[in-house]
Amino acid sequence: MKESPVAEVGEEESGETSGSPEKLAGANQEEETVPSHLLWFPACPEIVEEPEITIPAAAAAADRDESNDVYVAVGTKESSLDVLRWALREAVVPGSCVYLVHVYSPVTFIPTPLGMMSRDLMAPEIVEDFINEEQIKRSTLMQKYLKLCHGSQVQVDTVIVESDMVANAIVDVIDFCIVRKLVMGTTKWQARKGAGGKAGYVQRHAPPYCKVKIICDGKEAHF
């Protein structure tokens, strides 16, 4: 699967899925194989990155109307806070859960005084230390978003995805989780181009049952 040349989650084709969303949602209640690049982590003070794959507890609740759940793509820039604020204000309804979707790239290069070097050329302990530092940065970043959701008194969970193809990874999340509401951000520059960046790509490739809202500068954008 190749990603089109668009760029920045939160600042911002997968294959067709057979069967209706309702049938797929029912299948998700059973144990199933998760795409290898999808990693699920519960919302907690420490985001521990383990290879164990589980569906977030919020999604497993049988007495909730999951069609009202809102997935929000968040990135590393402050504008993601504006995207999340918009979602909490405009998209969330009582009883729904917010899922924070964050995609990060695999570690292939490590910064050194001599420039970026392939991890394959570095000592294992240096690679491990760098990966641990990146995990701490991600944990700190997610806490900002979690705190905002907790302040709004909404149920929240996280979806952390490792992929170097951000837009494709989010489309995969939509397919696997039967996401019906997704909020993403785009930059003013991408909005002026009329393509919407990665958010526009996801909107164009999302299945019909998923409504994708694109936010630019705190307001909904249309492409």
**Residue 100 domain-assigned (yes or no):** yes
**Residue 9 domain-assigned (yes or no):** no
Q: Looking at residue 215, what is its pLDDT?
A: 92
Q: Looking at residue 29, what is its pLDDT?
A: 40
Q: How large is the average pLDDT for residues 134-138?
A: 88
DSSP 119: G
Q: How large is the average pLDDT for residues 122-128?
A: 92
Q: Looking at residue 25, what is its pLDDT?
A: 40
**Residue 17 domain-assigned (yes or no):** no
What's the structural domain count of the chain? 1
Higher pLDDT, 179 or 47: 179
Distance (Å, rounded) from C-alpha 145 to C-alpha 99? 10
**Residue 80 domain-assigned (yes or no):** yes
**Residue 55 domain-assigned (yes or no):** no
**Residue 211 domain-assigned (yes or no):** yes
Q: Looking at residue 94, what is its pLDDT?
A: 87
Distance (Å, rounded) from C-alpha 108 to C-alpha 222? 35
**Residue 81 domain-assigned (yes or no):** yes
Q: Looking at residue 36, what is its pLDDT?
A: 38
Higher pLDDT, 173 or 41: 173
Q: Are 23 and 199 in contact (CB under 8 A)?
A: no
When mean pLDDT is compared across 63-77, 105-119, 133-147, 168-182, the lowest value belongs to 63-77
Distance (Å, rounded) from C-alpha 195 to C-alpha 223? 7
Distance (Å, rounded) from C-alpha 104 to C-alpha 160? 8
Distance (Å, rounded) from C-alpha 156 to C-alpha 98? 5
Token digits of residue 138:
């991600």
Higher pLDDT, 35 or 143: 143
pLDDT band for 17, please (50, 70, 90 cuts).
Answer: very low
Q: 167: domain range?
A: 63-221
pLDDT band for 38, please (50, 70, 90 cuts).
Answer: very low
pLDDT tens digits, 151-170: 999 999 999 998 989 999 99
Under 8 Å CB-to-CB from 98, ≥6 apart: which residues?
A: 69, 70, 71, 72, 87, 88, 92, 149, 154, 155, 156, 157
162 bridge partner residues: 104
Q: Looking at residue 126, what is its pLDDT?
A: 92
Q: Looking at residue 191, what is its pLDDT?
A: 67
Q: What do you get for the CA distance between the two ends of the chain, in Å?
A: 24
Under 8 Å CB-to-CB from 155, ≥6 apart: which residues?
A: 58, 96, 97, 98
Percentage of residues in the chain with pLDDT exceeding 90? Answer: 42
Q: Are 33 and 55 in contact (CB under 8 A)?
A: no
Higher pLDDT, 132 or 40: 132
Q: Which CATH number belongs to the domain containing residue 112 in this structure?
A: 3.40.50.620
Q: Are 179 and 67 in contact (CB under 8 A)?
A: no
3-state secondary structure 59-78: HHCCCCCHHHCEEEECCCCC
pLDDT tens digits, 62-106: 456 788 899 999 998 888 999 999 999 999 988 889 999 999 988
pLDDT band for 4, please (50, 70, 90 cuts).
Answer: very low
Per DSSP (E only), the strands in the chain are 38-41, 70-73, 97-104, 109-112, 115-118, 155-162, 181-185, 211-216, 219-221
